[in-house]
Amino acid sequence: MTKRTLAMSLALTMSLTACASHWERSPGHEYADYDQDEARCYLIGRGMPQEGFAAGGGGTGQAGAYAAAGAGLAMMAFAIGRAVQQQKDHDACMTLSGWHRVANQ
């Protein structure tokens, strides 16, 4: 991973976490269940191992460099898409467990 790619990844991560929030229990429920619910939803969010993703570049010279760059971008897009889906699965599980997300102030 190049320094530029790393910097872009960090900037994206920072921008996605800038609007931080926390979970609150719906009225009539106890906070004592949070750790158990969070652990269960974390595991559900991770899901079962997905089918692998393979990308490769071939060739030499400029064509090989373009192929390798395209493969790298495809792998990054796949990883971001998977992370977004895992977060959605986690959030849905927490909601079904009686929690709701509240924006930090």
pLDDT digits (tens), the chain, 105 positions: 576 676 666 566 655 554 567 888 877 767 778 888 888 888 888 875 545 555 555 556 666 666 777 777 888 888 888 888 888 888 888 888 888 888 876
Work out how many domains the chain is built from and give that number: 1
Taken as a whole, the chain contains a residue count of: 105
Structural domain containing residue 29 = 3-103
Q: Where are the beta strands (DSSP E) in 2-104?
A: 21-25, 99-103
Phi, psi (5° rounding) for residue 39? -65, -45
Q: What is the pLDDT of residue 79?
A: 84
Q: What is the pTM of this model?
A: 0.58
